Amino acid sequence: MIKMTMKPPLTPLLAGVFALALTASAQNAAGTLPPAATQTGVTYSTDIKPILDKSCAKCHSGDKPKARLHLDTLAGILKGSRNGKVVIVGDSAKSLLVQAAGHVAEDHDIWMPPDKDTDKFPPLTAAQISLLRAWIDQGAK
C-alpha cells in the first residue's frame, strides 16, 4: 500500500531550512539598500578589510579567486573582476560589490556570499553594508 504522508523526520528539517532562509533574507530584502553610514574617515584598512576578510576573502583571494576578483587587497578590489569594475568610486549604490553584498537583485545568483555558503561565510549586516557604502562614497581610500 502506498502511504501519502510525509516521513516524520523530514518536516522539522524542511521547517528549519525555511526558517534559515527567512533569517538570511530578513536583514536585507531584495531591492533595498541601507543608507550610507554617517561615520566619516572610513578607510579600507581600518573599517572594510575586517568585514571582507570574514565574509568574502576566502573565495576571492589566492591564485584563482572566484570571478577573478580579489577582495583581500585594496588594489584587487579597485581593479575589479573578469567582468570589470565592482566599485564605482563615489557611487556606492551603483557599485556591484555593494549590490551583491546588499542583495539588491531579485536573482539570488548574484547574492554574495552565495546562499549555499552562508553557514560558513556570514552575509553582511545592514550596518556593514552602510559602512561599505560610506567607504565607497568617501572615495574608497
Q: Which residues bind ligand HEC (CB under 6 A)?
A: 55-56, 58-60, 66-67, 69, 71, 81, 83, 86, 96-97, 100-101, 109, 112-114, 117, 121, 124
Closest to ligand HEC by CB, 11 or 83: 83
Quote the least distance from Cβ 60 to ligand HEC, whole Å: 6
CA distances from 141 to 36, 92, 116 (A): 16, 13, 32
Closest to ligand HEC by CB, 44 or 121: 121
Beta carbons within 10 angstroms of residue 14's beta carbon: 11
Q: Are the C-beta atoms of residues 123 and 55 closer than 8 Å to each other?
A: yes
Closest to ligand HEC by CB, 7 or 116: 116
Quote the least distance from Cβ 122 to ligand HEC, whole Å: 9
Closest to ligand HEC by CB, 49 or 66: 66
User: What is the C-alpha to C-alpha distance for residues 73 and 1, in angstroms, rounded to an integer?
Assistant: 62
Quote the least distance from Cβ 20 to ligand HEC, whole Å: 16
Closest to ligand HEC by CB, 132 or 138: 132
36 residue type, one letter:
A
Kindly state the DSSP code that residue 138 receives in the 8-state scheme: T
Cα angle, residue 64 at apex, residues 67 and 132 outer, rounded to 5°: 50
Quote the least distance from Cβ 72 to ligand HEC, whole Å: 11
User: What is the C-alpha to C-alpha distance for residues 78 and 87, in angstroms, rounded to an integer?
Assistant: 6
Quote the least distance from Cβ 69 to ligand HEC, whole Å: 5
